[in-house]
Chains A and B, each alone.
Chain A
């Protein structure tokens, strides 16, 4: 009977847990449900990103008393980066009132949420990642791959290499190898690299590294035989330091390896030790703690013992700063929507309107204390990426240093490809294309 009584207790506990009353709706709050991941293989990214995001929300509450008096609230549910846990967390957290936007930081979870958040009319933010064609706001009204979608990233990297070679015309006859992670994420850019290779006339070889990528001897021997001018590292997790170390072993110069936006963190470079010195990677947000907004977070939160990161050395790291930038974009979307709908708690659809008018020029970015941290963003009702600029950082053995100007991807080239894909999706799902007038109204 002991087991049975244990189960009785568990059942009772379950009853309590499921019926716990959620905090009553208050007029002046805006809630962020966070499907975070602080354990599991991707915990380094999760703790940094969600730490930065929470730090910024906390800063707005502590320093400004919220957005125009509307207090920001949040709660976390652990997903471990697993889709079904993310869905469970979504169902659990969505019952909270006043949801502003979802920020899962996971392609898989975001995919599973597209239908659901569209029905709920709440925005879904996939900063720097996500479905490329969700850039098209005509088809995906509630999905925002802010700053950088995978195609723009590809174009940004090719433009950077062209800059180093002295112009796009000099790419002709050059040889580029793309070493990609053997996963849906890794394969997403295969067609766009092929297209750019054709357009600019460089020779291209794309090599797959099977997940998780802790053995790359044969790939790098192939690279050594191919003698490329550049290797683009499109990695994830353990694959990145292993790539850098194996490159050093096979004698490929590390300063000709360019990392993509998920191969650009301290966690990728530090484990590779000496082999990472000189490694360059793309980013939408510079790392470092010298930006005013980061300094304020340190002063207001960390000095008062209220910061979210356990390890203070990670303040200003790539993932932490990405979380901060994500916080800025979410908060500013709310602020912009408040200008139109009133300084009160907004509905998800009103926040969506805010994201669709999220236009922060470099002057506004500077006023927010983020000059140099990120460049600018210009989201419109049909461009949900918002033309983010990219920059490149080089690892000096201890930290990242910015080595390029802000570079613009070739959006005009990419847009027709994106529209082709999103229109196919719309046809498949029977979605009617939205117009500018549809986007102007928001349900409350």
Chain B
């Protein structure tokens, strides 16, 4: 983990916030006008939910250096908690259910973060696996969590805040986008604050951090709580805005790995990394599958195509990690720098 600082904006002629503002303008105005329902339902909604989950895990793994394989479990806690708060507490605004769901996930995250006080690295990863299995088991075992629904699958409530209903793909997209924007901003503030520096100190050298007066135990637990909060909210978006239904099996170990890959491929200890990684994980398989069925769909059946896509995707990821171990963020910065020097020369 060679990345030392948070990704502060590189010095440029434009102020740092201009790029972000332009991006948000595109996301809020241009995309809803020109996007198709496929773009929202199949690409942007899962992208936003997984980006947020990646962001949460990045705070824990990238910044604070604690490896976790329980991300999907915390997503599940968030989704089911939001469902239950919304169902069982009358006249609770949706936004409050989502916040409470985040806190529920944070509480579970704290409990499963306790082993981090004694365990490190792979051992910690294995102990967070316990969260993964326990949560899934508990949600299937106790039908109370899914309101005794016969098949254990729950329906998402309509999304509305203060009387404004977020319906249809565009509405759900704007809802997700707003939640993600707010949490990303808060996360950005967090990692450049003293707490963020404490995270990095604990990650880079625990003993040194303790000597300079960083409360190591508190910092680790805080990282688990904040990370789980964000991942929990990502779970709510996944269930309420994207799939509109949720079953415990949807939050399995594969999802945890997926989120871990997002963080590694996107770039550890980087806010933007989660977005880059999620974009790759969500979009790239779709491109491959569309391309595969377009070029070879008449020759092979969909099963063969799907298998070969996995091989291609796996090979590309290996190649990419060898050539660019710091993730997509580093690649992006290098490309931008080159374009910048190229422009200056001409």
Contact = CB atoms under 8 A, between A and B. Distances in A.
Interface in B109-155: 137, 140, 143, 146, 150-153, 155
B247 A91 contact: no
Contact of A38 (B37, B286, B301): B301
Interface string B141-185: 001001000111101000000000000000000000000000000
B41 interface: yes
B150 A83 contact: no
Interface in B253-294: 283-284, 286-287, 289-291, 293-294
A78 B306 contact: yes
Interface in A177-199: 182-185, 187-188, 191
A236 to B, nearest CB: 12
Given A4-B335, A18-B290, 6 more contacts: A14-B290, A76-B302, A84-B242, A88-B286, A92-B290, A182-B140
16 contacts: A14-B287, A17-B287, A18-B290, A77-B289, A83-B245, A91-B41, A112-B243, A133-B150, A150-B150, A183-B152, A184-B151, A184-B247, A187-B143, A188-B150, A210-B137, A421-B150
B42 interface: yes
Interface SS, A side: helix
A132 B245 contact: no
Given A3-B324, A185-B151, A429-B155, A91 B38 contact: yes
A406 to B, nearest CB: 26
Given A17-B291, A78-B305, A95-B38, A3 B331 contact: yes
Residue among B137, B243, B250, B319 with most chain A CB within 10 A: B243
Interface string B73-84: 000000000000
Contacts of B143: 187
B153 A111 contact: yes
Given A91-B41, A108-B250, A429-B155, A17 B306 contact: no
Given A18-B290, A20-B294, A111-B247, A39 B306 contact: yes
Interface in B10-52: 36-38, 41-42, 46
A102 B303 CA distance: 19
Contacts of B250: 83-84, 108
Contacts of B320: 3
B307 interface: yes
A258 B150 CA distance: 22
A193 to B, nearest CB: 12
A427 to B, nearest CB: 13
B92 interface: no
A80 B249 CA distance: 14
Contact of B151 (A2, A18, A107, A116): A107
The 5 closest A-B pairs by CB, nearest first: A38-B303, A184-B152, A17-B290, A184-B151, A14-B287
A398 to B, nearest CB: 27
Given A38-B306, A108-B247, A111-B245, A131 B151 contact: yes
Interface string A1-38: 01110000010011011101000000000000000101
A383 to B, nearest CB: 19
B323 interface: yes
A150 B287 CA distance: 38
Given A184-B140, A188-B150, A429-B155, A77 B41 contact: no
A115 interface: yes
A115 B146 CA distance: 18
A183 B151 CA distance: 8
A348 B305 CA distance: 30
A47 interface: yes
B189 interface: no
Nearest to A34: B302
Given A17-B287, A92-B38, A183-B152, A39 B303 contact: yes
B140 A183 contact: yes
A242 B303 CA distance: 26
A39 B311 CA distance: 14
Contact of B153 (A76, A95, A184): A184
B79 to A, nearest CB: 13
A322 to B, nearest CB: 19
A112 B244 contact: yes
A10 B284 contact: yes
B249 A108 contact: yes
Contact of B294 (A17, A38, A39, A429): A17
Nearest to A185: B151
Contacts of B302: 36, 38, 76-78
Contacts of A14: 283, 287, 290-291
Contacts of A115: 244
Nearest to B320: A3
Contacts of A39: 303, 306-307
Contacts of A112: 243-245
A408 interface: no
B243 A87 contact: yes
A204 interface: no
